[in-house]
Amino acid sequence: MPGLRFLFAAMAGVLGMLLTLIGFILVYLLRRKRLDRLKDKWREIHGEVIQMAIVWEPAPGDSEPMPVPVSAARTLGSPVSRQCMIGDLIKGKKALSGAAADNLVCLYNRLELDRDSAKRLMSPKWHLQAQGIHELATMEQRGYVTRLYRFTNASNEMVRKEAQAAIVQLFGFEGLRFLDVIDTSLSEWQQIQLLQLLQHTTGAPQGSLQRWLHSSNATVRMFTLRLIAEHHLPEMAPHAADRLSDSIDGVRLQAIRCLRDLGATDSCGALTRVYPEEGLAGQLAILDAIGHIGTAAQLQFLQDQLNASEDRIKLEAARALVRLGEEGLICLERFPKIDRFPWNDVFRQVTCEWRL
Amino acid sequence: MKILVAEDEPILIRAIEMRLKRDGHEVWLAEDGQQALDKFEQEPPDLIITDIMMPYASGLEIIAAVRASPGPKVPVIILSAMGQEDVVLEAFRLGADDYITKPFSPNELSVRVRRLLTN
Amino acid sequence: MEVMSILQVISDVLAYGFWLYSIALLSSQLLLGSLAMVQMRQYMRSSSFTDYSLLAGSPHAPGISILAPAYNEGATIVENVRSLLSIHYRNLELIVVNDGSKDDSLQKLIDHYQLRKTDRLVQTGIATKKIRGIYQSANPVFHKLIVVDKENGGKADALNVGINVSGQPYIVCIDVDCIIEQDALLKMAKPFLDTQDKRVIASGGVVRIANGCEVRNGRLVKVHLPDTFLPRTQALEYFRAFLIGRMAWSRLNAMLLISGAFGAFDKEIVIACGGYNGATVGEDMELVVRMRRYMEEHRIPYKVTYIPDPLCWTEAPASYKILGRQRNRWTRGTIETLSIHRKMCFNPHYGRLGLLSFPYWLFFELLAPIVEAAGILASIFMAMFGGMNVLLFLALLGFIFSFGILFSILAILMEVLSFNQYRRSGDILRLVFTAILEPLVFHPFIVWSAIRGNIDLMRKKKGWGDMSRQGFATKKFTAGKDSRR
């Protein structure tokens, strides 16, 4: 029967594939085990070298550069071993600062590991390119700036983002220049990453910030507002307040939070003015902001919000009142419906929170 | 002086160990929160350095446990990547003596350790 | 003679029908396998240099509420909660919902975590059974914990209460005795932050089998393959389902189901859809389908993402009886879900969901056990009356089984190449052996449970049955202060 022969042939095919796969798995596992054992051996030696570098200090009056032990150079014959070393150096560099970090960079340079990272930039595989970029940026290889900058326009999204982050890591606010030309959106993740990289940098360029606040790219506007908030630039408050009339919800939300974080008490007036047009999220954000930066002038406004139909508004308004101190609390207590549901629950909750 | 270091990143733990040993301290290592608590229970050290984010027991739990136990007050230094205000405040509220954010400088750590131990 | 020829025709039709179905099924599996491999490679590459710790302390990370319904878990609840409280995440709320337990679960929590009754204004976005009280801890170390005590109403109702109480924009629904990895939430939260144009409404995670693993103080110390056959076959099954199945479907953005044990959801959409549906035993599956349907109907661009990393570990049934009940329930849940949303079937209005996922789930997941059982019964019948080419039938069966084994081996390969959780050299070989034994021992039982599920549903059986758990079997751990039983 033809059907039968076909079936047997198919089964033979399947069994063949099965055995191949099983064979592949076993071979792969064996090879990886061997590699792991090698890596452990390397790690030990590299570990010693790295630890020495971390704690090395030049003797007073001594201008000798940091010595690099011969054992290190010996194990770095194979690219895999060098990759291991780079990985460990990166881990160390990320966790340490000061002299220890500088020594690690010095070690990286002396062992010429930047060549390996640079080689990765030329790989056709995008994840290797991105890795190379990441390594060069972490190890402060500013000499590669032109090559890295070219990648900020790469076709692969992940490579592009990594390159943008790399430039920022190397050059701080200067590196944010790409915000002027970027036409794709900055995802939340990328914004978080960039904010983190800029955490310890100073000297935010006011002119650029103002420009970015008017960028046609909504995510750039949002990012700029976050930047202003994180770096505590109260002189930018009026510009941030301008964004309260932005067309995009997310930008307005960010503007509200920015004003709150800047402690911009003057903007309370603007906040209460835009309040009626905002959606629920915006209104909650405004109430939260007023709770942090408001004054006695806003007490009446807050009390009025207790009459809102949406329970969350009532809650947030009550919270804000309590945050504003003794006067706010009295204002809340004096609210005529305070003994009725749901205001009694609201009252109990916010006072409970405050006590905690 | 006996210092207990609780940190799960191997490179860091060795770096801290080397730095403190060079300063002449005896260093005990713990790779996770539970190990740290166990070692503390066995014998209280003179100072504790701990991360916040660790397996089994967070650094904050460790401070709470250390402060709750009887005996002389053991200084605690928090060494953490979480540098946000509310986490720092919470750590101090629970009784931490110092708070260092990562990335940190081993030299700075050494100085702060010395300061706490001489007080 | 006429009867014989009619029988011959029938048997031929049946055989070829069975054959066609099998070919369709196997081809679709092949397709899924290839898609999964491509997707897995891309995922492993992109996550290789992602620094998730960025999110752990960031104030911009989205707030998450973990919802953990609990019913009569008194024996282990304190440990479970402790384990959940040490998840690395800043903006976290752990909401344990005591679904009217008849034991002392609530009292144990109150005592151990120094809970006090507090007042909280609860949103009533979704109708639920009455809440008896909300408790928070007086001890600042436990400030993330909120315990809600309510009247018994079932898991869906408990989750809905959690949703009402939650104050964060995202919810993660888990079973309270799952072990969750420390950085699980970091990985689950990232997809919500990554996308620029589509809204991510849900992010599914992988459930791994914890049987046989070393568990200490509510945390996984070492991963081992389960010792006994039944959990091991389930581990294999989960590999196939998670590493191949869901990986492939998520590439098509047409994944229909998220496991009940682990998933993150956009709370706003969940409330807009009306929360969990208590009328079905497959409430987790049904919610995702409803959420997807909601987004399709409102024409909002959206995505459901999937994280294949091992983040959540749970205990698998170790006895045939309990396994049978679980599979019975899953079958009933799937049928109920598909039935509730039958409008989507082959409906181009619902895009890939209606044209691909739904039919796939209907024909190749739901009907497969029935077709299989019917095929075997019919063949035996035919064989008895001599109208069937026994050899052909056996060859077909052999082919299908070997294909099944091939698929399992592929799943094992995917695991080895990606997360490689089982490091002992013997483990992989044991898995291979299990894969070979599975079609003979495990599979028929699963088919049988599914059939019973169908029958029970037709008889209008409802509810979960007794799903008593043994507690994680711990292996050779020392210093076992709080051993779990």
Give the 3-state secondary structure of residue B83: coil
Residue C261 has pLDDT above 60, yes or no: no
Q: CA angle C181-A194-A229, nearest 5°?
A: 105
Q: C190 with C455: CB under 8 angstroms?
A: no
Q: How far apart are CA B23 and CA B21, in angstroms?
A: 5
Sign of the C-alpha dihedral, residues B54, B55, B60, B64?
Answer: negative
Q: What is the pLDDT of residues C112-134, one digit of tens each?
A: 999 998 878 787 788 888 889 99
- Better-predicted residue by pLDDT, A258 or C241: A258
Q: How far apart are CA A32 and CA C416, in angstroms?
A: 10
| pLDDT at res. C330 | 86
B/e letters for A151-162, b = 16+ CB within 10 Å, e = fewer, are bbebeeebbbbb
Q: CA angle A298-A302-A307, nearest 5°?
A: 150
Note whether C141 contacts B94, CB cutoff 8 Å. yes
Residue C160 has pLDDT above 90, yes or no: yes
Q: C203 with C192: CB under 8 angstroms?
A: yes
From first CA to last CA, the distance across chain C in angstroms is 66
Give the 3-state secondary structure of residue C478: coil
Tokens of A232: 């505590």
| pLDDT at res. A221 | 95
Note whether C86 contacts B93, CB cutoff 8 Å. no
* Full strand arrangement of the beta sheet holding C131-137: C115-118, C131-137, C145-150, C92-99, C64-70, C170-174, C262-266, C199-209, C302-314, C179-180
Tokens of A347: 């009252």
Q: Which of C408, C429, C223, C243 is nearest to A26 (CA)?
A: C429
The DSSP line for C386-417 is: T-S-HHHHHHHHHHHHHHHHHHHHHHHHHHHH
| pLDDT at res. C461 | 60
| pTM for this entry | 0.87
Note whether C49 contacts A162, CB cutoff 8 Å. yes
Q: C304 with C202: CB under 8 angstroms?
A: yes
Q: How far apart are CA C361 and CA C344, in angstroms?
A: 12
**Average pLDDT of the residues of chain B:** 87
Tokens of C477: 């751990």
Interface of C with A (CB under 8 A): 45-46, 48-49, 51, 54-55, 58, 60-61, 118-121, 123, 136, 140, 143, 190, 192-197, 389, 391-392, 395-396, 398-399, 402-403, 405-406, 409-410, 412-413, 416-417, 425, 428, 432
Percent share of chain A, pLDDT over 70 = 98
Mean pLDDT of the A236-262 span: 92
Q: Which residue of B has its CA nearest to C216?
A: B56
Which residue is associated with the tokens 């390159």?
A: A163
Q: How many C-beta atoms lie closer than 10 Å to residue A333's C-beta?
A: 11
Q: Is C86 on the interface with B (CB under 8 A)?
A: yes
Q: What is the pLDDT of residues C195-226, one digit of tens each?
A: 778 899 998 888 889 898 888 767 787 888 99
| pLDDT at res. C479 | 25
Return the amino acid letter for A155: S
Tell me the pLDDT band of C389, cut-offs 50, 70 and 90.
low
Q: Using the 8-state DSSP alphabet, how is residue C161 labeled?
A: H
Helix axes A188-197, C184-194, angle to 10 degrees: 110
The torsion angles phi and psi of A23, rounded to 5 degrees, stand at -60, -45
| pLDDT at res. C80 | 86
Q: What is the pLDDT of residues A202-226, one digit of tens each?
A: 888 889 999 999 999 999 999 999 9
Q: Which of B40, B73, B43 is nearest to B59 (CA)?
A: B40
Residue A21 has pLDDT above 60, yes or no: yes
| pLDDT at res. A5 | 79
Tell me the pLDDT band of B69, cut-offs 50, 70 and 90.
confident
Tokens of C56: 């752990």
Note whether B34 contacts C182, CB cutoff 8 Å. no
ipTM exceeding 0.90? Answer: no
Q: C363 with C23: CB under 8 angstroms?
A: no
Residue C303: strand pairing partners:
C200
Tokens of C198: 């589509």
Percent share of chain C, pLDDT over 70 = 92
The DSSP line for A163-191 is: HHHHHHHHHGGGGGGGGGT--S---HHHH
| pLDDT at res. A282 | 93
Q: How far apart are CA A153 and CA A182, in angstroms?
A: 9
Chain pair A-C, CB pairs under 8 angstroms: 107
| pLDDT at res. A65 | 73
Q: What is the pLDDT of residues C449-478, one digit of tens each?
A: 888 888 888 887 655 654 544 444 332 222
Touching subunits of B (3+ CB pairs, under 8 Å) are A, C
Interface of A with B (CB under 8 A): 47, 50-51, 54-55, 88, 91-101
List all residues 6 or more positions away from A152 whose beta carbon is below 8 Å from its beta carbon.
A160, A163, A164, A167, A178
Residue C422 has pLDDT above 50, yes or no: yes
Q: What is the pLDDT of residues A147-171, one digit of tens each?
A: 998 898 888 888 999 999 999 999 9
Mean pLDDT of the C52-57 span: 78
| pLDDT at res. B28 | 93
Touching subunits of C (3+ CB pairs, under 8 Å) are A, B
Residue C244: strand pairing partners:
none
| pLDDT at res. C469 | 46
Residue C260 has pLDDT above 90, yes or no: no
How far off is chain C from B108, nearest CA to CA, in Å?
23
Q: Using the 8-state DSSP alphabet, how is residue A96 labeled?
A: B
Helix axes C367-384, C425-458, angle to 10 degrees: 80
Pairing mode, if any, of strands C170-174 and B2-6?
unpaired
Note whether B14 contacts A99, CB cutoff 8 Å. no
| pLDDT at res. B76 | 93
For C112, what's the count of Cα atoms within 13 Å in the CB-facing half-sphere? 16
Q: What is the pLDDT of residues A81-98, one digit of tens each?
A: 899 899 999 988 988 888
| pLDDT at res. A4 | 73
Q: What is the pLDDT of residues B25-42, one digit of tens each?
A: 999 999 888 889 889 989
| pLDDT at res. A209 | 93
| pLDDT at res. A191 | 93
List all residues 6 or more positions away from B57 whose beta carbon is below 8 Å from its beta carbon.
B32, B33, B34, B36, B37, B65, C86
Sign of the C-alpha dihedral, residues A58, A60, A65, A69?
Answer: negative
Query: What's the burial of B44, exposed, middle or buried (CB within 10 Å: 0-12/13-18/19+)?
Result: middle
Residue B77: strand pairing partners:
B49, B98
What CA dihedral angle connects A127, A133, A135 and A141, to 10 degrees?
170
List all residues 6 or more positions away from C27 whose beta carbon is below 8 Å from its beta carbon.
none
Residue C366 has pLDDT above 50, yes or no: yes
| pLDDT at res. A356 | 60
Residue A194 has pLDDT above 90, yes or no: yes
Which of A47, A91, A97 has its CB closest to that of B104? A97
